[in-house]
Amino acid sequence: MHPTFESVQQAYAEALGGVSAAKAQIRPDADPGKWCAQEVIEHLILTYRSTAEVLEERLRKGRPTLAPLLPAHESSWRATIMAGRFPGGGKAPDRVRPGQLQLGELSGLQLAAKFKLELARVDGLLDECAEKFGSQPMASHFAFGPLTADQWREFHAVHARHHLTQLSRILSSVH
């Protein structure tokens, strides 16, 4: 696994290591509008699957995206990924909102294993695309436009770190 993803994966494994299945389901302040630990992981899994689908499509077509990089994409990238942070309070797009996978109640160890599996899949696809398409932008992100393999990794690392902070707050609030 790429070192960027390896460090993210290890941080999640540590955060989730001793979490019971019951604790992973508890919402902070019993607020139905807030995600529990398992929902945070499901959201990340869905984002990795979404990226995997985009990358697989590029590989099937045998060419990188032809989509242009727009000024709005560059502005969004600078404000979030280059700044190393996602703004809080944003709403996840429907396709990556928790509640779609019917995972059942999973322990932290089980969630960490699923997280690692999905992250490794994206990592492998990014390697495959980089080998085929080189260092050029290969596939488009809905908010950031066409991204290179390194940019995709940076996006996912910043996004995962954002949710790691959220996960830590959730787990510390549910004792």
Checking if the pLDDT of 91 tops 90, the result is: no
**Distance (Å, whole) CA 82 – CA 172:** 29
- pLDDT value of position 175: 63
Average model confidence (pLDDT) for the chain? 93
Checking if the pLDDT of 92 tops 90, the result is: no
Write down the residue that tokens 């954002």 correspond to. 162
* Superfamily of chain region 3-173: dinb family like domain (1.20.120.450)
> 121-160, pLDDT tens digit by residue?
999 999 999 999 999 999 999 999 999 999 999 999 999 9
**Domain residue extents for the chain:** 3-173
Contact (Cβ atoms closer than 8 angstroms) between residue 5 and residue 156? yes
